Amino acid sequence: MFSASSILTFIVVLGVIVVFHEFGHYLVARLCGVTVKTFSVGFGPKLLKKQIGPTEYCLSAFPLGGYVRMMGDDPNEEISEEDRAHSFLTQPVRKKIAIVVAGPAFNILLAIFIYSGIFMVGFPSLTAVVGEIQEGSAAEVGGLETGDRIIAIEDKEIALWDEIRETVQKGDGASLAFVVDRAGVQKTVTITPQMKESEDLFGEKHPTWLIGILPKGDQITKRYNPFQAVYLGVKQTWNMSVMNMVGIGKLIQGKISSDNLGGPIMIAQIVDQQASRGMLNIVSFIALLSINLGLINLFPIPVLDGGHLVFFTIEGILGRPLSLKKVEIAQQVGLFLIVSLMVFAMYNDIMRFFVSP
């Protein structure tokens, strides 16, 4: 079972992601002149609330989400003539789209901010010291030895293990000159990578250029200046976004088992695991979860931000909003899909947590 500290960490992790998402909607709504009536972290009964100006700020009982309630976001709400200028649905389409997109956009910005901070603070990375050399590999044939520190490949300076992999792949099978430090003496060896199949994170095999070496496990803390860190933060966010989308696509195609879907219990388990490994891991997981939330919210499913984006895009094309009846039907279908997915994810959670050995 989860400890009190694990539950608290889980709530904080979700709270940070939700607050950033809803703050995106809130901030852009305010900038567009729309009155925000409620800003709530969590759903259900309001445990704490404070009225500041026209907005009621709340902490609600169930921390698995949140919401921003804007004036006039309900088509059935009666709005006085003087309040129409500050009502959500009476705004130009461009403003409504900006308000809707702001939530997911802030989730992506949170990930960039976190990753940039990690690159500035520094994180443990494997050094370019050769550990095991596989028998018959390109590295063995080329003369690489255990304990060699790779300091350059084809005039490109090497410090980290990941840089070796990246440089070898970019070489596209060409023979590469490896400059190594061997017991204080620099030597150059020529290695021709071999094409072999390797598995990716999703278990699929791809042809990859390999030289047949593994690290020893030595680590260093690499730090970057703010400009480098932001660039790398954006790059890491992009890579994680692509990985998420590929994973979701394979799930839809049936190439990944739906058993991998998880809900709050699975998230709590991962949070607990990451927390036990240190603050850096838990912060990295917040970034990954934030990307996931941002991307999923952009799916064109009614009741999600992506569904509203579709409605407002159609409104912009037609020059008028869709009929209330069509919107309501679409939202009912969307709600059914989301609830069904949540129930299935919770079922998987229960089976993993209570049934698995």
Alpha helices in the chain (DSSP H): 4-31, 93-121, 138-142, 161-170, 226-253, 264-276, 279-297, 305-318, 324-350
Q: Which of 22, 132, 154, 204 is catalytic?
A: 22
Tokens found for residue 58: 């709340």
Q: What is the CA radius of gyration of the chain?
A: 25
Q: Cα–Cα distance between 35 and 26 in angstroms, integer?
A: 9
Task: State the DSSP H helix or E strand holding residue 21, giving kind and residue range, or none if neither.
Answer: helix 4-31
Longest dimension (CA), the chain: 82
What is the distance of C-alpha 178 from the center of its chain?
35
22 annotated active-site: yes
CB 212 within 8 A of CB 133: yes
N residues, the chain: 357
> Residue 19 is which amino acid?
V
Tokens found for residue 147: 């304990």
Tokens found for residue 85: 């200028």
Q: Cα–Cα distance between 302 and 322 in angstroms, integer?
A: 13
CB 262 within 8 A of CB 347: no
CB-neighbour burial class of residue 331 (10 A; exposed 0-12, middle 13-18, buried 19+): middle
* Nearest residue to 28 (alpha-carbon basis) of 317, 305, 335, 276: 305
CB 291 within 8 A of CB 100: no
Q: What value, to the nearest 5°, has the Cα angle with vertex 44 and ends 38 and 45?
A: 85
CB 280 within 8 A of CB 118: yes
* Nearest residue to 345 (alpha-carbon basis) of 265, 243, 271: 265
Sign of CA dihedral 124, 130, 135, 140: positive
- Active site members: 22
